[in-house]
Structure 1
Amino acid sequence: MRLFRYLAKEVLVSTIGVTLILLLVILSGRISSYLGRIAEGKMTFEFLFVILAYHIPSFVQMILPLAFFLSLLLAFGRLYIENEMSVLFSSGISKVKLAAYTLGIAFIISAVSATISFWVAPASEYRAAEASQAQNQLSAYDFLIPGRFEGSGQRTTYIENFTQVDGWMENIFISDVTRSNGNNIPTQVLAAYAEQIRISAEGNQNYLVFKNGTRYEGHPGSAEYRITHFDTYAVRMANQSISTIDEAFTKTTLALITSSDQLDKVELQWRISLVVMIPILAIIGLSLSQVNPRQGRFFKMLPAILLMILYIALLIWGRTGLEKGKLPMQLGLWWIHGVFALIAAALFLQYNQIFARRKARLPNHTDSDEPSL
């Protein structure tokens, strides 16, 4: 049991570290993408941290098998380089028992992965979809920055400030173009204050209400140029439709099990695959982690990583094929796991020197059976 705790500590600590590093890499890429949307006025800065927090479980469920596999190679490779594995084998620890300890560690990671894949990630993705819909309901005026012109050309908006008490837009200027009789007519609105209101009686219709201002319409110098002074002027704003959140990745695992939809079945197989692949990768990693001090701990990492990449690539390809109907649902993703389970078994047999032992036990038929004189 002490040996299992020692090995588990080595692998699990490395897994946590690799997971955090890979997670930071993914988050940095997403942050740069979201910052571009913030600069374009398509999302608020506060929403950046909300949406990233909701997506973290989905990132972790993809990272965890990779992090565990790399950590297993690094941890066991170090034990081989520092001759700790030689001490274990000379103390009576067989490679079969070492494989049992490795699978025990893999089952711990699998339990964590199952919890994230089956419960945490779907619930988090559903919340992310809800937050995205709420963000889409915001108008362009919710993204205005005081003292800065927003837009381009004749479609420009400017506000001087927000009132501290009510949060009204103060000293607002809006330049726009309206279409009338096939012609583009420029309009400008100057107002002391403006606010957005929602009228529930009209189906949650949004209005932008201006106070104490002037509206200019038409081309300056033309006979049809109009100037309108108003105390209150309301403009109806376009509403974003709210759609039902029914994507497969946002559904609970129980809903996927009871569903007959093809995409739901594929999503269920994908979630199971992220858990099933962990013990298979554990045996592959154990078998390819054996190196001698002269080779270095990274000698077998390249073929091991290529094998892992092939495994994940086949799963992604299989998922895409199932979603598009190019692969039969009865075949699913199980054949990919079966192939790599056989690869893992073959590598472990070679690692445990099964073939070498059988070859050594075979009689040497090249020697002459005739008695010597």
Structure 2
Amino acid sequence: MTLRLFRYLAKEVLVSTAGVTLILLLVILSGRFSNYLGRIAEGKMTFEFLFVILGYHIPSFIQMILPLAFFLSLLLAFGRLYIENEMSVLFSSGVSKIKLAGYTLGIACIISLTSASINFWLAPFSEYRAAEASQEQNQLSAFDFLIPGRFEGNGQRTIHIDSFTPNEGWMNQIFLSDVVRKKNVSIPTQTFAAYAEQIRVSSEDNQNYLIFKNGTRYEGKPGTANYRITQFDTYAVRMATKDNSVIDEPYTKSTLSLIKSTALLDKVELQWRISLVVVIPILAIIGLSLSQVNPRQGRFFKMLPAIILMILYIALLIWGRTGLEKGKLPIQLGLWWIHGVFALIAAALFIQYNQVFERRKARLPEVTDSNE
């Protein structure tokens, strides 16, 4: 019966956790999706890269969502069991609240192991790959974001192409307006060409070139004497490139490298990853204690104070992390004191829930006066 009961409770909680996690994840992804669409419209990233970067960020979103989803699911699942009197049947069958807490912590261990695998391995690996993909995206030039038949840019810096060749990817009928600096003077230039292509040179200087074919270049202000018209068969322009920086942000590092590191930010990141795992069993006891309601109260009677406690817990962890990163809190103290405070709160709520120190008033016998 013990194993069967644990499976039943675990199914109730874990299915709800998966559902709440999916809903919260979709909410976050929709916000990021709108933000990235704006960057695509501005010509700062390609549409294909949108799904790549969102996919890499999903583990980081889940590592924050999972403790919250588990806590809310525990309140909803156990609240329903109380409302439908299933908990009363369990207690009358000999299942104590101590044993129910053991089942709850067992379910919390499943969520904690999942969270640990995401926090310690999957999320940093995905964030490192996301940083690599972002660097590759930054190497793309404005010509990689061109849409045929549409002017891109603003002011005197404008690009327009008629179409792309289907196989080679050459730009047909290209117009480029730009400004060059010569002797501290800005000189407008316009280049018309029948074809153009980008060539990335694999050399030590890592330079990219834009090659124009069969065109004309105009340089200078119209109506002035210093005006040049150049017709060319081939004209090459060296394009500015960005050097790839070393990816060494703490959230992209492996957990093993964080353990070996002596840098402050790396130590804070390590404590944060551990905290997102430690928070789960503490929230489990708080959720178990505050999920007890009677049918007249309804399952949402204690959800508000429970959610306030959860928000306060997460907010203190975020505040503590910021304080550690800025050096306002000692790294030796870390985030452990926050877990300690809420572990005591969880213990106090469970004691009240289990009625360990319930005061029982003894009924004293009434003393009658013999003279009456």
- Short-chain TM bin: over 0.9
The 1:118–1:202 alpha-carbon spacing in structure 2 relative to 1, beyond 3 Å, is closer
The corresponding residue for 2:340 is 338
Which consecutive segments of 4 or more residues in structure 1 shift more than 6 A? 368-372
RMSD: 1.3
Percentage of identical aligned residues: 79
1:179 is matched with 181
Q: Who is 2:94 aligned against? A: 92
For residues 343 and 118 of structure 1, do their structure 2 counterparts lie closer, same or farther at Cα, with a shift above 3 Å needed?
A: same
| Displacement after TM superposition at 1:164 (Å) | 1.6
**Code of the aligned partner of 1:35:** L
The 2-side partners of 1:200 and 1:108 are apart by: 49
In the alignment, which residue of structure 2 is the partner of 1:15? Answer: 17
Q: What TM-score results when the alignment is normalised by the length of structure 1?
A: 0.96
Residue 256 of structure 2: aligned partner: 254
Q: How does 1:1-373 map to 2 (within 5 A)?
A: 1-356=3-358, 359-360=359-360, 363=362, 367=364, 373=370
1:131 maps to a residue whose letter is A
Take 2:90 and 2:111, find their aligned partners in 1: how far apart are those partners?
A: 24
1:293: how far off? 0.7
Distance (whole Å) between structure 2 residues aligned to residue 228 and residue 293 of structure 1: 87
CA shift for structure 1 position 181: 2.8
Secondary structure of 2:247's counterpart equals coil
Offset at residue 180 of structure 1 (A): 2.2
How far apart, CA to CA, are the structure 1 residues paired with 2:288 and 2:367?
47
Q: What's the offset of the Cα at 1:371?
A: 8.1
Give the distance between the partners of 2:221 and 2:262, measured in 1 at CA: 60
Q: Distance in 1 between matches of 2:204 and 2:172?
A: 27
Instruction: Please state whether the residue corresponding to 2:177 is helix, strand or coil.
Output: strand
1:201, distance to aligned residue in structure 2 (A): 3.3
Instruction: Give the Cα separation in 2 of the matches to 1:355 and 1:6.
Output: 30
The 1-side partners of 2:303 and 2:252 are apart by 36
SS state of the match for residue 167, structure 1? coil
Aligned AA (2:213): K
Per the TM alignment, residue 222 of structure 1 is displaced from its structure 2 partner at its CA by 1.3
- Of the structure 1 ranges 61-70 and 234-243, higher mean CA displacement relative to structure 2 is found in 234-243
**Cα distance change of structure 1 residues 2 and 372 upon mapping to structure 2, 3 Å threshold:** farther
| Alpha-carbon distance, 1:108 to partner | 0.3
* 2:294 alignment partner AA: N
Q: Secondary structure at the match of 2:53?
A: helix
Scaled by the length of structure 2, what TM-score is found? 0.97
1:225: Cα distance to partner? 1.3
Structure 1 distance, partners of 2:204, 2:346, is: 64
- For residues 207-261 of structure 1, give each alpha carbon's deviation from its aligned partner in whole angstroms, at most 9, with x where no partner exists: 1111110000111121111110001101111111110000000000000011111
Mark the runs of 5 or more structure 2 residues left unpaired by the alignment.
none
- Give, in whole Å, the separation in 1 of the partners of 2:201 and 2:280: 53
